[in-house]
Amino acid sequence: MEVRSTLFKEVFLLKSKIRKDHRGSFSEQYHRLNLLKETGIEIDFIQDNITHSKKGVLRGLHYQLYPYTQSKLVSVIEGTILDVVVDIRKGSPTFGKYFTQELSDQNHLQLFIPKGFAHGYITLSKTSIFHYKVDNYYRPKSEGSIAPNDPDLGIDWGLPEKEWILSDKDKKHPKLKDAFLFDYKRNLYV
């Protein structure tokens, strides 16, 4: 497994080795001990989720509030998406900064997103199948969110806003300055 750094030292990209032969291919997507060995992170993922989306579907920016915070390991099974991670840790040196990465069935990259970061993505290909592992269960009443078009963030989602397809809930997210945020120094949401 290859580990690549990102703008945030806590967020990293993973690339598994792909073995190909006359039958097709094989890759190990997740191995708990290898993740610990390569990154130093010990984590117990407890749930896997898959979303199917068409081009322009934008999901995010989401996070879970304390005590139901989630770390995620995300990847794309089919298609291409632009993944976006925003540092929402108030007091962090990179607070309000964001990182983007294209994930696809061609580049075979995975992205690890720890607690304290908002996450979202948009489908750039005709369709996508997106897979993510989480280390805590989703609690609807504990969901935090940030508007994907927050002008203070200025995220380039790779498609013009008029082409975005959002859920009714995702259309109502607050701006970063009005959202519940993670206090970097106290390690909790405020």
Residues with catalytic function:
62, 132
* Nearest Cα to Cα of residue 130 among 77, 59, 72: 77
State whether residue 106 is helix, strand or coil.
coil
28 in Cβ contact with 2 (< 8 Å): no
Side-chain-facing half-sphere of 139: CA atoms under 13 Å: 11
Tokens 């970061």 appear where?
A: 117
How many Å apart are CA 108 and CA 157, to the nearest integer?
Answer: 20
Residue pointed to by tokens 């806590």: 10
End-to-end Cα separation, the chain, in angstroms: 36
Rg of the chain, C-alpha, whole Å: 16
Q: Which residue in the block uniquely carries the two structure tokens 């989401």?
A: 62
**CA of residue 105 relative to chain centroid, distance:** 16
